[in-house]
Chains A and B, each alone.
Chain A
Amino acid sequence: MKRILFSLLLSSSVWAVQAQDAKYVAAMTKNIALIDSAHIKYFANADLSLFETEANAFERIATAEKDKWQPYYFAAYCQVMEALYVKDKDKVDGWADKASLNVDKALSFSPDNSEILCLQSLVATSRISVDPMTRGLPYGKEAAVLLEKAKKLNAANPRVYMLQGQSLYYTPEQFGGSKVKAKELFETALKQFASFKPATNLDPNWGEAYTKHLLSTIK
């Protein structure tokens, strides 16, 4: 009897842990799926509110979980999207600052993470739009250095090539941009996307459709 009871208690505590885990997985899965809706909402009517809601939701999960990098990563991701999309350039730095704080927290739990460095480079890129003439050089350089570092940590990360390509794609040729080189990088990225397997279902795995879209615009 005691044995049964003991095993019951044991299994129920395991069950509790699993439930906690399941709750985390469920919340993350749901919110990661909502990021797609945020993109759709933005493209449909330039509405960024869902990114803000989602960033806050990920921040709540991050604070409650305390030691996981993924929720911080996705909170930062949503905030970078705000920084990239927002029309009022006065607000870019505010969003980039928020994203940067979350990137730093994510890095504190997973220091040599290629994915987080990619996102960090995107934060730097987002700041350029405030004043391209004076910011293009310093932030462009910072972004490039971070991507190289990300590549060193994981050469199979497709987002490295996608972001490198994106930077060449949007930089005028006079400043060192090149559509030809961007195309090569997008093709490398797609190759990597094809074989890329995230470590867990909650790890970043985005950008394939976007890469295909950019590639399709290059003749």
Chain B
Amino acid sequence: MKLLLLLLIAGSLPVLLHAQTTVSGQITDAKKRPLAGANIAVQDSYDGATSSKDGHFSFTTTETGDKFLLITLNGYQPLQIKISLNGKAENVVLIMKQAANELRLVTISAGTFEASSKTNTVLKPLDIATTAGANADIVSALKTLPGAQQIGDKTGLFVRGGTGYETQTYIDGLLVRNPFFSEMPDLPSRGRFSPFLFKGTTFSSGGYSAAYGQALSSALILESNDLPDRSSSSVGISTVGVNLGLQELAKNKKSSYGVEADYTNLAPYFKLVPQDRSTTIYPAFWNGSANYRLKTSRTGMLKFYGYVSTNKLGFTRESLEYPGYLELFELHNRSVYTNLTWKEKLDDNWRVDLGVSYSTNTDKIKLDTISKRPPAAVNNRSDLSQFHMAFSRGLGNFSSLKLGAEYQYAVENSAYNQYHKNYIDNYGALFAESEISLAPRLLARVGARAEHSTVLDKTVLAPRASLGYKLDQYAQLSMAYGEYYEKPEPDFIRWDRQLNYMRATHYIATYQKLATNYTFRAEVFYKKYHHLMKTIPDTSNGGTGYARGAEIFWRDKKTFKNVDYWVSYSFLDTHRQYLDFPKSVQPNFAATHTLSVVYKQYIPKITSTIGVTYSFATGRPYYNPTLPVTEFMSQHTKPYNTIGFSANYLTTIRKAFTVFVFTVTNITGNNLVYNYNYSTDGQRRQEVTPNAPRFFFLGMFMSFGIDRRQEVIDNQ
């Protein structure tokens, strides 16, 4: 019996003695760089360690025999190796490979700046609204990014040597015919759509996808908001007008509707702040919009957006042609824009995007050299109906395919006094595009777009290709190539149907380093223009041109506390031989060097944000008709220098979340000369300047959120 007991105890001795083994080693990545923080564990035991800064680890274990050692680290593939624990010290050197998903996050980014609430984007939607000097205008805010010119005398976004017409705006995949308020002579117009309508804004300065057509230089891609997360109403009052809004989210959170209305009248402001042009009709705008959003299923979303606007303005300035007389310009505009889109997952593979849109825009313009010549009446009306569909599916893990079709029916009517020049165009396009993961770090996007326009009676095929190569977690190299076609301006097609598309070929290379709190980006591009419009000797597609340049962008939210700033620099070398140019020259809308510095400082103590935007551009060429033809566009305006300022103060009044906004453009009152206009005989000239040196704005915006927090909780 005693023996038995002894045996029993002796038999369990190895367990009781707990033989210990020391395991040590080092963890590195494939490039022999030490990895810290890796968890090294003996399987099914508590024993293990964490690797230190130099990748070393060491621990003792009481486990014995052949066991697995498990090593895990975020962003790396887990490792498992067999070791035998027998009291003899073990030393292992282990190499961990980066996890595939960390490397596969390659995105096609050449030429694009995206502002959305996704984690990895250069800008957030709010950045657009809070950029000083931009007055919550999307395009004005985008002018602080590289590639965009500081154009203040024409409407639109002038990108990389392109005109405003060469930039197109798309909302949820559908082209917008009139994204801006109507053009005025030598003055810019704002965009019609508020930045708060969109959850995502992508500004592409070239190399964009085959899904976007009829834009020669640049695409502004806007993605409208989804369901709001609660009902709310808002009211705003400012030095230029009032606005009201309501968003109602259904109880089941499956649908929402909203209405907004605003009225802007610049009469009080113009009476207070003198303007360069003398006003005949004070600018007044009525804008109303409605939206409806419906979750049609777990994966389906239907969205409607409708916008109506009517506005008028009028002014006179001294006539250049007839000294002592006044030139009158008066405009009445009516505009309607609607779009309806539906997205749904058809099955495990396919997604569908459908969209229809109708818009109409009427401009009634009165031009008059008062008491000198009979007045002229210009009536323009453009209607656009369109249909868009796209089907997309994933191919394997990281590849995808997208197929789509578009049809646009455009009616362009124009009347000058009793003379009418109208046309109808049927435009159709098919596109196919595929993203293909060529290697873990390498993504390619290849596509093509076929386009046909009945008014030009020509079909073209536009191939596009991009590559993205991920260097490490933050850095990426990208390249893009593409052919882009665009119909000439309606004012050419009206008169001459034998025209061709204008064409541009883009080549872009980008290096981008995008971390959460800083972004660095450097891009070089070359763009070749073919078939630009010539007006001398005849209207034809005989124009050519090129643009090349280099751009740098730096944004930093990290270095200074509560400070966010970005710096954009663009170098642009562009020439074109188009319109009535006697030779190939740098056009008036292009400056060689452009610099923007945007600075935002948040002051938590008083919950205020102060913003300053500095913009600089070297002088732009202008045409002086008194010089010989060889000197065409040889003179330059003085450099453009301006500082915009904004201050926001956030507070609550009763239960309303309230923001006070104060902004001033061109705070130092610099004389900004964009161009010179000459009389036909070259005897007199006029500076092209803003209507006033500065623009002041003071506003208060309140939003009343019907707090449904409790409801959310009760429903769970």
Interaction A to B: yes
In the bound complex, what is the Cα–Cα distance between A70 and B229 (angstroms)? 34
In the bound complex, what is the Cα–Cα distance between A149 and B515 (angstroms)? 34
Contacts of A63 in B (CB 8 A): 41, 44, 70
Most B C-beta atoms less than 10 A away, residue of A59, A60, A61, A90: A60
With an 8 Å Cβ cutoff, the count of chain A residues facing the other chain is 38
Contacts of B187 in A (CB 8 A): none
| A98 CB within 8 Å of chain B | yes
Chain B residue, CB-CB nearest to A5: B4
Picked from A49, A60, A141, the residue with its CB within 8 Å of the CB of B229 is A141
Given A144-B709, A145-B709: A64 touches B44 (CB 8 Å cut-off): yes
Contacts of A176 in B (CB 8 A): 652
Contacts of B517 in A (CB 8 A): 89-90, 130
Contacts of A94 in B (CB 8 A): 74-75
Picked from A57, A60, A141, the residue with its CB within 8 Å of the CB of B709 is A141
Given A133-B126, A134-B124, A172-B607: A90 touches B716 (CB 8 Å cut-off): no
Q: Are B41 and A89 in contact (CB under 8 A)?
A: no
Picked from B74, B515, B602, B607, the residue with its CB within 8 Å of the CB of A174 is B607
In the bound complex, what is the Cα–Cα distance between A144 and B70 (angstroms)? 37
| A93 CB within 8 Å of chain B | yes
- A residues 173-196 in Cβ contact with B at 8 Å: 173-176
With both chains docked as a complex, state the minimum distance between the C-beta of A14 and any C-beta of chain B, in angstroms: 15
Chain B residue, CB-CB nearest to A16: B15
Given A52-B37, A93-B516, A149-B716: A174 touches B650 (CB 8 Å cut-off): yes
Contacts of A138 in B (CB 8 A): 229
| Binary per-residue interface labels of chain B (23-60) against chain A in the complex, 1 for a CB within 8 Å, 0 otherwise | 00000000000000101010011111110100000000
Picked from B50, B119, B229, the residue with its CB within 8 Å of the CB of A52 is B50
Q: Are A53 and B50 in contact (CB under 8 A)?
A: yes
| B374 CB within 8 Å of chain A | no
In the bound complex, what is the Cα–Cα distance between A52 and B49 (angstroms)? 10
Given A64-B46, A134-B117, A145-B709: A1 touches B1 (CB 8 Å cut-off): yes
Q: Are A90 and B124 in contact (CB under 8 A)?
A: no
Given A134-B117, A144-B709, A145-B713: A89 touches B558 (CB 8 Å cut-off): yes
Q: Are B117 and A60 in contact (CB under 8 A)?
A: no
Contacts of B126 in A (CB 8 A): 133-134
Q: Are B74 and A60 in contact (CB under 8 A)?
A: no
Contacts of B125 in A (CB 8 A): 134
With both chains docked as a complex, state the minimum distance between the C-beta of A53 and any C-beta of chain B, in angstroms: 5
In the bound complex, what is the Cα–Cα distance between A29 and B562 (angstroms)? 41
Chain B residue, CB-CB nearest to A65: B46
Contacts of B1 in A (CB 8 A): 1
With both chains docked as a complex, state the minimum distance between the C-beta of A107 and any C-beta of chain B, in angstroms: 15
In the bound complex, what is the Cα–Cα distance between A98 and B37 (angstroms)? 13
| B185 CB within 8 Å of chain A | no
With both chains docked as a complex, state the minimum distance between the C-beta of B76 and any C-beta of chain A, in angstroms: 12
Contacts of B81 in A (CB 8 A): none
Q: Are A60 and B39 in contact (CB under 8 A)?
A: yes
Given A90-B517, A172-B604: A60 touches B47 (CB 8 Å cut-off): yes
Picked from A8, A61, A89, A98, the residue with its CB within 8 Å of the CB of B46 is A61
In the bound complex, what is the Cα–Cα distance between A175 and B652 (angstroms)? 7
Q: Are B709 and A56 in contact (CB under 8 A)?
A: no
- B residues 53-105 in Cβ contact with A at 8 Å: 70, 72, 74-75
| B197 CB within 8 Å of chain A | no
| B10 CB within 8 Å of chain A | no
| B112 CB within 8 Å of chain A | no
With both chains docked as a complex, state the minimum distance between the C-beta of B252 and any C-beta of chain A, in angstroms: 17
| B712 CB within 8 Å of chain A | yes
Q: Are A174 and B652 in contact (CB under 8 A)?
A: yes
In the bound complex, what is the Cα–Cα distance between A49 and B516 (angstroms)? 22
Q: Are B650 and A27 in contact (CB under 8 A)?
A: no
Contacts of A97 in B (CB 8 A): 74
In the bound complex, what is the Cα–Cα distance between A171 and B30 (angstroms)? 44
| Binary per-residue interface labels of chain A (15-44) against chain B in the complex, 1 for a CB within 8 Å, 0 otherwise | 000000001000100000000000000000
With both chains docked as a complex, state the minimum distance between the C-beta of A202 and any C-beta of chain B, in angstroms: 14
In the bound complex, what is the Cα–Cα distance between A61 and B652 (angstroms)? 49
With both chains docked as a complex, state the minimum distance between the C-beta of B155 and any C-beta of chain A, in angstroms: 30
Given A60-B48, A174-B651: A145 touches B41 (CB 8 Å cut-off): no
Q: Are B709 and A149 in contact (CB under 8 A)?
A: no
In the bound complex, what is the Cα–Cα distance between A144 and B229 (angstroms)? 14
| A148 CB within 8 Å of chain B | yes
In the bound complex, what is the Cα–Cα distance between A53 and B47 (angstroms)? 12
Contacts of A89 in B (CB 8 A): 516-517, 558
Picked from B8, B47, B651, B713, the residue with its CB within 8 Å of the CB of A148 is B713
With both chains docked as a complex, state the minimum distance between the C-beta of B627 and any C-beta of chain A, in angstroms: 52
With both chains docked as a complex, state the minimum distance between the C-beta of A150 and any C-beta of chain B, in angstroms: 11
Chain A residue, CB-CB nearest to B604: A172
In the bound complex, what is the Cα–Cα distance between A5 and B4 (angstroms)? 10
Contacts of A8 in B (CB 8 A): 8
- A57-B46, A64-B44 are known; give 17 further A-B pairs, CB within 8 A: A5-B4, A49-B52, A56-B41, A56-B50, A57-B48, A59-B41, A93-B119, A94-B75, A130-B517, A133-B124, A133-B126, A134-B124, A138-B229, A141-B229, A141-B709, A148-B709, A175-B657
Sample 12 A-B pairs with CB under 8 A, ordered by A number: A52-B50, A56-B37, A56-B41, A60-B39, A64-B41, A90-B516, A131-B516, A133-B602, A141-B709, A149-B716, A173-B652, A175-B650
